Amino acid sequence: MTGTSLAPAPTSRPPVTPRPRGAVSALFRIEAVRLLRHPAVLTGLLLYLALWAYEWGTGGLAHRYPVLQDEDRYSQVPLLLVAAGAFIASNLALTRAQRSGVAAVTDLLALAPWRRTLAQLLAPLPLAMLSGLLVGARVAHLAAAPGAVGRPSLLELATGPLIVLLAGVAGVAVGRLTSMVAVGPLVILGMAIFTLVGAVTLGRPMLKWWGLVAIEDEFEPPLPADLMHRPVTAHLVYLAACAAVCCAVALARSGVDRRIGVTAVGVTTVLAVVAGAGQSVTVPGDVAARRSVAEREPSAQQTCRTVDTVTYCAFRDFEGRIDQWSTLVGGMLRHTPPDRAADRYVVRQRLLFGATTSSVSISPPLAVWAADDARAGTPGAVPVGTKWGTDQIGGDAMLSFAGHFAARVVTGEPPTEASALSVCRSRAVLVLWLAATATEETTAALRSLLPRTGGSVVLPLLDSSLGLSIGRQEVSVVRSLLDRPADQVAQQVIANWAELTRPETGTERAASLLGTRVLGPAAEGARC
Amino acid sequence: MLTTVRALLPHVFRSSRKAPPVLCGVLALVLAALPLAVSYRMEIPYAVTLIRVVSVTVALGVAFALDDPASPTTQVTPTSNLLVRLTRIALSALPLVVVWLGALLLCRAAVPAEARPYLPVGGLALEATALLVTTLAFAAVAVRVSAPTHGGLAAMPGLLLATTAVTLLPDDVQPFAGPGSTRWDASRWFWLVLLVGAVVVLASLLGEAGHRRRRRSPAVAAPAAEQVPATAEHEARSRRSVA
């Protein structure tokens, strides 16, 4: 105890120089870690991963056939869960002092309020980076799927993490504006409603770009990457400007010089409005020209590959799809006589713009397509679209292609108005059975389609007005045939091929040749 | 019991948070009135989506119903916790149920007359009830495991995150099935099971915590008979002193 000195500290010690930058950096580290560990963020991340795991666990990914230039933007929607978590967590962090009843004490802290706000505005950065990693992992996982085609856009991939960052800083801004914790979730609800309205308001495509995520019409077929037009760069600038507005508002409410604060809010708001208005959805002239060529004369942009006796031509982004087409076509030709299976066939990928957006179905430009096929040395090609999958939309497209290829084999003619009309009675039974038994997926597609159509089936060519119309009686015969082993029915098909493919052979006769019978009467006003 | 509830009402009302239910109620009505305000004739699927958004908004309004900062000081009062909490829930939920019904009528009015019979009101009411009770159950869990003021803090974001995640589920297991879709009937089972589960959780958490129930002495647990004359005598004294 004798050594204890109560003497004042030597006055020669140099005064401590305040280092606000270091303090901001330290506070940022603490707040960033707290944000990452916040239950709302963890719940958002967990739900994101749970959705992914569910898709994986139920085998959804195995039959997904992802198109990567679409998957990049699909990755943004599940990330809204993380964004919501970021908003809630950063908002609650701002109101922490208020809720704990120590708000008055924080006035005594050495660090200026605006510097503390700055640290909190920076805190969502690590979470945004983590979101970027998640999106990257998700797209890499999809790219590794056997049926994946196309290439993702880096800008689309960057949008999701930027939304998370924006949500984080928006939570801080709202927290600075009001300490009412009920407001935060209501703001999220408002954003969700705006996104929903943007997604369903197809008549005003510009509206969705004012929200966080611009969801496209899911009935639109996928496009090759160079034919797509989404103002992604402008949207990124818009989101960044919105984040800047939130930062300016939060700092302005944190005691920065009033003139600087008001000016910053004004400038960033103008910037956000200008950036928002700059997201033009009008298709530029060069893209429109490329689309027109791709629709009418795609052969020059496509690569062709021959598998067995069939030549497949696809846009470069969809080359990987040839494997799935050849599996389907091979499955179908296996059930036909050897001379028919040995014929030369061509399958060419086609685009038809406006088929799903217009309320009236449009006719495909068959004459222009025939001329393009003739120039390319591939006459009589069967068109196939870009939709493919085992969901409702992709399954219907898969079955339609199978039907039109089967019609090509049965009638010996490429798809035209006349050849479509000639698929009646026995031919209709044969075409639908060949299409349905091509693969397990086409069988499942037909089974999924029937409850939605009331018994008859229409297989449109690329969503156009041209389609194969198969009546209830013919469908009922095919349904009964699907209950028997396909190889057994195939033997009867091959043995009776000549009669079954004759236009005048009736449905009852086809049924008896195939060892079944017709169920129910023909629909009134049936075309055949 | 009615006397007790009547006596409780003003105090529970005063200590309840009014802003969240009011904000959510107003927002729900504004959303439901929008189509009528702009003379938009809604098709059934859009009307169903709007009613679902209204249901979530209404459910958010009851998230703070169980938040009671004073609850640690009222643990030993003779009135049962169950009764106090049920009163709190009723005060928040009943007006919001009326709001939901009003919003439903507004949405229905925006649907063309010939399509109105096809609006699945029963199924949507089941969804709304399940969402509301689940929010309350979520809040009750948070109040029990965290702090008396953390019910809304947990239930509001929890409901939003859970609802968003559910909407992202694939079509074959989507609880928010489209009206008339093949999944509609099966999806009703999800909401029914959710509702029953939430009711069970809520019922088990609204009363006294188990350890507190055990520690209560018989004298404290059933003092009502002695309380009434004491209160009456006290009131009589007060009246005399005022006179």
Is there a domain that residue B65 lies in? yes
User: In this model, does residue B228 exceed pLDDT 50?
Assistant: no
Confidence of residue A157 (pLDDT cuts 50, 70, 90): very high
| Residue B86 in contact with partner chain A when CB distance is under 8 A | no
**Is residue B133 within 8 Å of B62, Cβ to Cβ?**
no
- B160/A84 CB distance under 8 A: yes
d(CA B186, CA B177) in angstroms, rounded, equals: 9
Confidence of residue B23 (pLDDT cuts 50, 70, 90): very high
pLDDT of residue A360: 57
Q: Which of A434, A384, A440 is nearest to A410 (CA)?
A: A434
pLDDT, average across residues A229-243:
94
Confidence of residue A170 (pLDDT cuts 50, 70, 90): very high
pLDDT of residue A12: 58
- B168/A182 CB distance under 8 A: no
CB atoms near residue B212 (< 10 Å): 12
pLDDT tens-digit map of B103-135? 999 999 999 998 899 999 999 999 999 999 999
- B157/A196 CB distance under 8 A: no
Is there a domain that residue B215 lies in? no
Helices A154-177 and A113-122: crossing angle in degrees, nearest 10, is 150
Closest CB from A55, A77, A189 relative to B56: A189
Residues forming beta bridges with residue A12, ordered by sequence position? none
The Cα of B156 is separated from the nearest Cα of chain A by a number of Å equal to 6
For an interface test with A, give the residue of B26, B92, B156 to mutate (most A CBs within 10 A). Answer: B156
B235 is written with which tokens? 């009131």
| Residue B138 in contact with partner chain A when CB distance is under 8 A | no
CA angle B70, B75, B77 (to 5 degrees): 105
User: In this model, does residue A524 exceed pLDDT 70?
Assistant: no
pLDDT, average across residues A13-33:
81
A472 is written with which tokens? 């209830």
Residues forming beta bridges with residue A383, ordered by sequence position? A348
Residues in chain B within 8 Å Cβ distance of A50:
165
Q: How big is chain A by its Cα radius of gyration, in Å?
A: 31
**Is residue A139 within 8 Å of A157, Cβ to Cβ?**
yes
Residue in chain A lying closest to B171 (CA)? A391
pLDDT of residue B240: 53
pLDDT of residue B224: 45
pLDDT, average across residues A205-226:
87
Boundaries of every domain in chain A? 22-103+110-282, 289-513
pLDDT of residue A166: 97
The Cα of A78 is separated from the nearest Cα of chain B by a number of Å equal to 7
Q: How many domains does chain B have?
A: 1
- B171/A55 CB distance under 8 A: no
- A200/B46 CB distance under 8 A: yes
**Is residue A237 within 8 Å of A275, Cβ to Cβ?**
yes
pLDDT of residue A11: 54
Confidence of residue A217 (pLDDT cuts 50, 70, 90): confident
Q: How big is chain B by its Cα radius of gyration, in Å?
A: 22
pLDDT of residue A27: 92
- A43/B31 CB distance under 8 A: no
Instruction: Name the pairing type of β-strands A310-315 and A345-349.
Output: parallel
**Is residue B148 within 8 Å of B86, Cβ to Cβ?**
no
User: Lowest-confidence range among A40-44, A291-295, A355-359, B70-74?
Assistant: A355-359
Is there a domain that residue B219 lies in? no
pLDDT of residue B109: 94
Confidence of residue A197 (pLDDT cuts 50, 70, 90): confident
User: Which 3 state secondary structure label does DSSP give A302?
Assistant: strand
Residue in chain A lying closest to B163 (CA)? A81
- A196/B49 CB distance under 8 A: yes
pLDDT of residue A107: 74
DSSP state of A395: H
Q: Which of B103, B55, B172, B143 is nearest to A55 (CA)?
A: B172
Is there a domain that residue B216 lies in? no
Task: Give me the percent of chain A exceeding a pLDDT of 90.
Answer: 60
Is there a domain that residue B185 lies in? yes
Is there a domain that residue B230 lies in? no
Task: Give me the percent of chain A exceeding a pLDDT of 70.
Answer: 93
DSSP state of A149: B
pLDDT of residue A120: 94
Residues in chain A within 8 Å Cβ distance of B154:
39
Residue in chain A lying closest to B62 (CA)? A182
Confidence of residue A416 (pLDDT cuts 50, 70, 90): confident
Surface of B (12-51) touching A: CB under 8 A: 17, 19-20, 23-24, 27, 31, 46, 49
The Cα of B93 is separated from the nearest Cα of chain A by a number of Å equal to 16
d(CA A236, CA A161) in angstroms, rounded, equals: 11
Residues in chain A within 8 Å Cβ distance of B63:
182, 185
Highest mean pLDDT among A149-153, B176-180, B233-237: A149-153
Is there a domain that residue B231 lies in? no
Closest CB from B53, B64, B165 relative to A81: B165
User: In this model, does residue B80 exceed pLDDT 60?
Assistant: yes
- Per the model's pLDDT, the better-predicted residue between A24 and A356 turns out to be A24
User: In this model, does residue B220 exceed pLDDT 50?
Assistant: no
pLDDT, average across residues A358-365:
72
User: In this model, does residue B96 exceed pLDDT 90?
Assistant: yes
User: Which 3 state secondary structure label does DSSP give A418?
Assistant: helix
pLDDT, average across residues A481-501:
93
DSSP state of A119: H
Residues of A with CB under 8 A from a CB of B: 39-40, 43-44, 47, 50-51, 54-55, 58, 60, 77-78, 80-81, 84-85, 88, 92, 99, 180-186, 188-189, 192-193, 196, 200, 391-392, 451
Containing H/E element for A314? strand A310-315
Is there a domain that residue B242 lies in? no
ipTM of this predicted complex? Answer: 0.78
Residue in chain B lying closest to A39 (CA)? B154
pLDDT of residue A108: 77
User: Which 3 state secondary structure label does DSSP give A429?
Assistant: helix
- A186/B24 CB distance under 8 A: yes
Closest CB from B31, B152, B161 relative to A181: B152
Please spell the DSSP secondary structure of A172-233, one letter per residue.
HHHHHH---TTHHHHHHHHHHHHHHHHHH-TT-TTGGGGSS--PPPTTSPP--GGG----HH
Residues in chain A within 8 Å Cβ distance of B157:
40, 43, 84-85, 88, 184-185
pLDDT of residue B219: 47
Containing H/E element for A431? helix A425-436
Closest CB from B19, B168, B170 relative to A180: B19
- B160/A185 CB distance under 8 A: yes
A322 is written with which tokens? 């040839």
- B60/A185 CB distance under 8 A: yes
- B158/A43 CB distance under 8 A: yes
pLDDT of residue A199: 79
**Is residue A475 within 8 Å of A456, Cβ to Cβ?**
yes
pTM above 0.90, yes or no: no
Confidence of residue B208 (pLDDT cuts 50, 70, 90): low
Write out the residue range of the structural domain in which residue B50 sits.
2-207
Confidence of residue A251 (pLDDT cuts 50, 70, 90): very high
| Residue B153 in contact with partner chain A when CB distance is under 8 A | yes
Please spell the DSSP secondary structure of A58-118, one letter per residue.
TTTGGG---BHHHHHHHTTTTHHHHHHHHHHHHHHHHTHHHHHT-TTGGGG-SS-HHHHHH
The Cα of A201 is separated from the nearest Cα of chain B by a number of Å equal to 11
User: In this model, does residue A23 exceed pLDDT 90?
Assistant: no
Residue in chain B lying closest to A49 (CA)? B165
d(CA A397, CA A145) in angstroms, rounded, equals: 20
CB atoms near residue A11 (< 10 Å): 5
| Residue B64 in contact with partner chain A when CB distance is under 8 A | yes
Q: Which of B150, B155, B151, B99 is nearest to B128 (CA)?
A: B99
End-to-end CA distance of chain B: 31
pLDDT tens-digit map of A135-144? 999 999 999 9
